[in-house]
Amino acid sequence: MTTQQSFTRHDITFPSGDSTCAGWLYLPTGVTSAPVVILGHGLGAVREMRLDAFAERFAQAGIAAVAFTYRHFGDSGGHPRQLLSIKRQLTDWDAAIAYVTARADVDRTRIAVWGSSFGGGHAITVASRHPELRAAVSQCPFTDGLASALALGPAASLKVLPVVARDLAARGRGKPPVMVPIAAAPGTPALMNAPDALPGYQALQPAETTFRNEVAARVIPTILTYRPGRAAKKITIPILFCVSDTDSVTPPAQTLRYARTAPKGEIKRYDAGHFDFYTGETFEVLVRDQIEFLTRQLNPAAAASAA
């Protein structure tokens, strides 16, 4: 039987680009120099939307955790608000790694990254760029913008183009961004309008949340051309892919093709939808698999025995 360790959670901020990211640091109680995993979320999501649930479990297993919110969202800095920039979010990941590396109360030589959905795609990109990391977890990952757009359907994709044009014009005139919903009902222009997208996002929101269901529409062309799955073949560290077999947002067939190119990749498949990964029994199975993987790669027992 596995014993669970207690932990403390600290509010943190760290600099990134022209502003700061807000986050939580989870430290296992009584452990010196614990390994650490950095957690980032999906499209427009903030860390309050169940990143804490995963981070708590990792901390109970003796692994410190940093869960952060990207700039322009939630309680992190950055203007304009609700700007989803792939380049800026990848800079936030680099900044989170730099922040962890500078801390004296964790083991800076044993760092892993964990991303979900759009953040799962970022985790692939980040892992390919940071060979000094020990491990990565990519959960229901966004791996190919074109494949996701095709899953959404050409008609639905075309519906958002006028909104994109208005936002690009607003940017050119120095006006506030024109927003598009992140998740909406089927048939409604949005980044995600699969039947389970809107109820799935709503189910992740706590009573008190900084989440806003909208982003600046200008991001849509960059999402279409973002294909982080192609970087999987360049990853030299162990990476665990947790794939939904019924994913309505990130098509599993394309994800699996990319995952199989990772030299040290491991694949776990789940008969559960994209938004089922965060709650209930699916969450319990997922987090157990991820703790087993991270424990093998980060060896938290070494930190505990040194305490």
Identify the CATH number of the domain in which residue 61 sits: 3.40.50.1820
CB count, 10 Å around CB of 278?
24
170 lies in a domain? no
Q: What is the pLDDT of residue 77?
A: 98
Distance separating alpha carbons of residues 279 and 282, to the nearest angstrom: 6
Q: Tell me, what's the pLDDT at 1? A: 37
pTM of the model: 0.95
Return d(Cα 212, Cα 73) in angstroms, integer: 8
Q: Is residue 202 part of a domain?
A: no
DSSP-assigned states of every residue in 137-157: EEES----HHHHHHHH-HHHH
Domain residues for the domain of 61 are 7-148+227-306
Is 161 among the domain residues? no
Q: Residue 50 carries which DSSP code?
A: T
Predicted pLDDT of residue 155: 63
CB 293 within 8 A of CB 240: yes
* Tens digits of pLDDT across the chain (307 residues): 345 789 999 999 999 999 999 999 999 999 989 999 999 999 999 999 999 999 999 999 999 999 999 999 999 999 999 999 999 999 999 999 999 999 999 999 999 999 999 999 999 999 999 999 999 999 999 999 988 877 666 566 677 888 999 999 999 999 999 999 999 998 888 888 889 999 999 999 887 777 899 999 999 999 999 999 999 999 999 999 999 999 988 999 999 999 999 999 999 999 999 999 999 999 999 999 999 999 999 998 876 555 5
Per-residue pLDDT at 4:
76
**Number of structural domains in the chain:** 1
Residue 92 lies in a domain: yes
What's residue 296's pLDDT? 97
What is d(CA 235, CA 306) in angstroms, rounded to the nearest whole number? 30
> Is residue 122 one of the residues assigned to a domain?
yes
